[in-house]
Amino acid sequence: MTAKRILILGAGFGGLAAANKLRKSLSQDHRIIVIDRKKSFMMGLVNLWILAGSRGLEDSQTPIDGLNSRGIEYLNDEAVKIDPDSSRVQTAAHGWITYDYLVIALGSELAPERINGFVGRGFNLYDSSQVPALREKLLAIKRGRVAISIMGLPYKCPPAPYEAAMIINDILTKNGTRGTIDIDMYVPSPLSLPIAGPKVSADVVATIEKYGIKFNPSCKISSVRDGEIEFEGGRKETYDVLVGIPPHRSPDVIKSSGLTTREWISVNRQTMRTDRKNIFAVGDVTEIKVGQSAIPKAGIFAEGQAKAAAGQIINEINNDKSEASFDGQGFCFMEIGGRQAGYVKADFYNPDGPLLSLEPPSEANYEKKHDFERSRIREWLL
Ligand SMILES: Cc1cc2nc3c(=O)[nH]c(=O)nc-3n(C[C@H](O)[C@H](O)[C@H](O)COP(=O)(O)OP(=O)(O)OC[C@H]3O[C@@H](n4cnc5c(N)ncnc54)[C@H](O)[C@@H]3O)c2cc1C
């Protein structure tokens, strides 16, 4: 058997899960190389703990070079071009790197600039560097309105904006200012979680309304001015603090590579293979249609897809004809403040259609959320 070189683009959820599974199953003569422009890994869900004040940004970073001691080669570099016809990737600092197998796990990018007037006026909840200042602002205001706007679909971790709303409620309550500050959520779709259907969406709305948070459906933001948001159709609302979940887009290197003519990469929903030779794609950069919707952008799905892609590559290298398979199952936590969390559980490949439910909040689930982070960092990087 000739030794293979497996190149993984991105050291987030998908890239780290794929690299570790490959390393555990393949002998050392097969090289596994991971490229990421970042030097450290932090899960997106930590943003909510920074918001809540239970975590600092600096204490939450794990160096990605921990991969090297596991026999996985890490290159801190930028992938600038993918050339599927020659099976190679161009990087900013290391030039062209050839591969036998490529796993694309580059995630999604945030595009706050697509919302006219938002940058400089609102806080981007998904940009961890802005969350400490958002928390300071929430602690400083005495009255007014916090507006939380989901600015486009799809976005990462569909329950996260609702978690943020309830954590903000908790912050303001503890600060003694909740009585004079309204919290309003503005959502582009008629349902709170379109992917989860009407029943779970209604449960989510009932959960936030219990805390006096107002749900405003079908509000597509068009622009932001000082103290005022405007929605498509002309509706205007005031804000004192604006929290945005900006539109998401795929990384530029994907579009320029010719791997998709749309925003996201289409893959085989079991093996995560693309239609290009020996290229797999996993996680937020992909789109897997289920009914009218698509599998949500969440770490748990990126991880499951990465394990399937890695399993398929291992089978092929070992001349094993069996097919690896992503099972379409996962869950997303929904924290409500006060050390309590529920979660949305999903089975997207259920033969009778996607099956989703909302599990009620408990302290045990809150602990599970912390363990979710700890166990993966231990398994992937330490
Ligand atoms: C507030 C918040 C809460 C969340 N909560 C949850 C939760 O409870 N459960 C859950 O499952 N998910 C949650 N998520 C979603 C989860 O973080 C993402 O879905 C997940 O990170 C996607 O994994 P990925 O591997 O596809 O991409 P990512 O983890 O985003 O990794 C992509 C990597 O590619 C790198 N990269 C991109 N372009 C280049 C390039 N050109 N060259 C080199 N490197 C590049 C990036 O630096 C990055 O490290 C949450 C997200 C947020 C923001």
CATH number at residue 37: 3.50.50.60
Say if ligand 1 is within 6 A of residue 38 CB.
yes
Task: Decide if 374 is inside a domain.
Answer: no
Kindly report the average pLDDT of the chain as a whole number: 96
Kindly state whether residues 169 and 226 are assigned to the same domain. yes
Q: Whose CA is nearest to atom 41 of ligand 1?
A: 79
Last residue of a domain, one of 213, 248, 283: 248
Q: Which atom of ligand 1 is nearest to the CA of 47?
A: 1
pLDDT band at 75 (very low <50, low <70, confident <90, very high): very high
Q: Which residues pair with 144 in a beta bridge?
A: 181
Kindly state whether residues 166 and 210 are assigned to the same domain. yes
Q: Which long-range contacts (CB under 8 A, 24 or more apart) does 303-307 make?
A: 303/13, 303/14, 303/17, 303/376, 304/329, 304/330, 305/14, 305/267, 305/272, 306/13, 306/14, 306/15, 306/16, 306/17, 306/18, 306/21, 306/103, 306/105, 306/272, 306/282, 307/17, 307/18, 307/21
Kindly state whether residues 229 and 149 are assigned to the same domain. yes
- Measured distance CA(250)–CA(252) in Å, rounded: 6
Task: Decide if 349 is inside a domain.
Answer: no
Kindly state whether residues 215 and 124 are assigned to the same domain. yes
Kindly state whether residues 242 and 206 are assigned to the same domain. yes
Say if ligand 1 is within 6 A of residue 253 CB.
yes
Interval 56-76 mean pLDDT? 97
Kindly state whether residues 29 and 148 are assigned to the same domain. no
- Which residue from 290, 285, 262 is spatially nearest to 272, judged by alpha carbons? 285
Q: 122-162 pLDDT, tens per residue?
A: 999 999 999 999 999 999 999 999 999 999 999 999 999 99
Task: Decide if 333 is inside a domain.
Answer: no
Task: Decide if 373 is inside a domain.
Answer: no
Last residue of a domain, one of 230, 248, 266: 248
3 state DSSP class of 50? helix
**Ligand 1 center–CA 117 separation, angstroms:** 26
Query: Over 80: is that where the pLDDT of 41 sits?
Result: yes
Task: Decide if 254 is inside a domain.
Answer: yes
Kindly state whether residues 171 and 189 are assigned to the same domain. yes
* pLDDT in the model for residue 308: 98
Say if ligand 1 is within 6 A of residue 103 CB.
no
What is the per-residue DSSP string for 182-218? EEEEE-SSSSSSGGGHHHHHHHHHHHHHTTTPEEE-S
Best of 36, 128, 300, 366 for a ligand 1 pocket test (most atoms within 8 Å of beta carbon): 36
Kindly state whether residues 131 and 241 are assigned to the same domain. yes
Q: Which atom of ligand 1 is nearest to the CA of 80?
A: 41
* pLDDT in the model for residue 89: 98
Q: 161-217 pLDDT, tens per residue?
A: 999 999 999 999 999 999 999 999 999 999 999 989 999 999 999 999 999 999 999
Task: Decide if 261 is inside a domain.
Answer: yes
Q: Whose CA is nearest to atom 33 of ligand 1?
A: 10
What is the bridge-based pairing of β-strands 79-83 and 329-337? unpaired
End-to-end CA distance of the chain: 31
Q: Which residues pair with 245 in a beta bridge?
A: 150
The domain of 220 spans 112-248
Last residue of a domain, one of 195, 228, 248: 248
- Measured distance CA(303)–CA(298) in Å, rounded: 9
* pLDDT in the model for residue 261: 87
Q: Is the pTM of this model over 0.75?
A: yes
Number of domains in the chain: 2
- Measured distance CA(301)–CA(303) in Å, rounded: 5
* pLDDT in the model for residue 292: 81
Say if ligand 1 is within 6 A of residue 47 CB.
yes
Kindly state whether residues 143 and 219 are assigned to the same domain. yes
Task: Decide if 353 is inside a domain.
Answer: no
Task: Decide if 335 is inside a domain.
Answer: no
Kindly state whether residues 157 and 237 are assigned to the same domain. yes
Say if ligand 1 is within 6 A of residue 298 CB.
yes
Best of 48, 65, 75, 106 for a ligand 1 pocket test (most atoms within 8 Å of beta carbon): 106
Say if ligand 1 is within 6 A of residue 191 CB.
no
Say if ligand 1 is within 6 A of residue 154 CB.
no
- Which residue from 125, 152, 109 is spatially nearest to 242, judged by alpha carbons? 125
Kindly state whether residues 188 and 241 are assigned to the same domain. yes
**Ligand 1 center–CA 204 separation, angstroms:** 24
Q: Give the single-character DSSP code of 373.
A: H
* pLDDT in the model for residue 293: 86
- Measured distance CA(167)–CA(163) in Å, rounded: 6
Q: 334-361 pLDDT, tens per residue?
A: 999 889 999 999 999 999 989 999 999 9
- Measured distance CA(30)–CA(27) in Å, rounded: 6
Q: Which atom of ligand 1 is nearest to the CA of 300?
A: 11
pLDDT band at 291 (very low <50, low <70, confident <90, very high): confident
Contact 225, 115 (CB under 8 A): no
Q: 235-252 pLDDT, tens per residue?
A: 999 999 999 999 999 999
Kindly state whether residues 282 and 218 are assigned to the same domain. no
